[in-house]
Amino acid sequence: MPALKHPDVRRVFSPEFKWQIVRESKERTLSVSELARKYDVNTNQVFRWVREAEAGQALWVRRAKGEPDAPIAASVFLPVSVRPANAAPVLSQPAITVSFRSGHQLMLHEATPAMLAQLVAALS
């Protein structure tokens, strides 16, 4: 007797189960739709598993083949050159430029906080 289907429950298939279906689809003894009916899965799901198996990137494919979950990268030292720190950049003197609607510009070099306060008060 087939298992009862619950629409709210999503079925989870083991990597081995998926791999078995993919192998049978490659044998071509049954059509994909017949294979899907045999295992009570959706035809689109079988096609997806076949694509994932061909690409070989899906986690379940690596697990079914007995490969590690993530490729093991070799440790490699990279060349590094050590240089003395650069001298601190020379900062320019504070300056401000005020552009008026008439097109005139007022440039204040070496502006101090007091100068800026007077300028803001005058323009307000």
Which amino acid makes up residue 124?
Answer: S
Rounded distance, CA 57 to CA 53, Å? 8
Q: How many residues does the chain have?
A: 124
- The per-residue pLDDT for 40 is 92
Detail the DSSP E strand segments found in 11-122. 95-99, 105-109
Segment holding 109, helix H or strand E: strand 105-109
CB atoms within 10 A of CB 80: 5
On whether the pTM is more than 0.85, the answer is no
Q: How high is the mean pLDDT in each 10-residue block of the chain (124 residues)? A: 62 90 90 92 92 86 81 79 78 80 87 85 84
- The per-residue pLDDT for 36 is 92
Rounded distance, CA 18 to CA 101, Å? 73
Rounded distance, CA 85 to CA 32, Å? 66
Domain boundaries, the chain: 15-64, 93-124
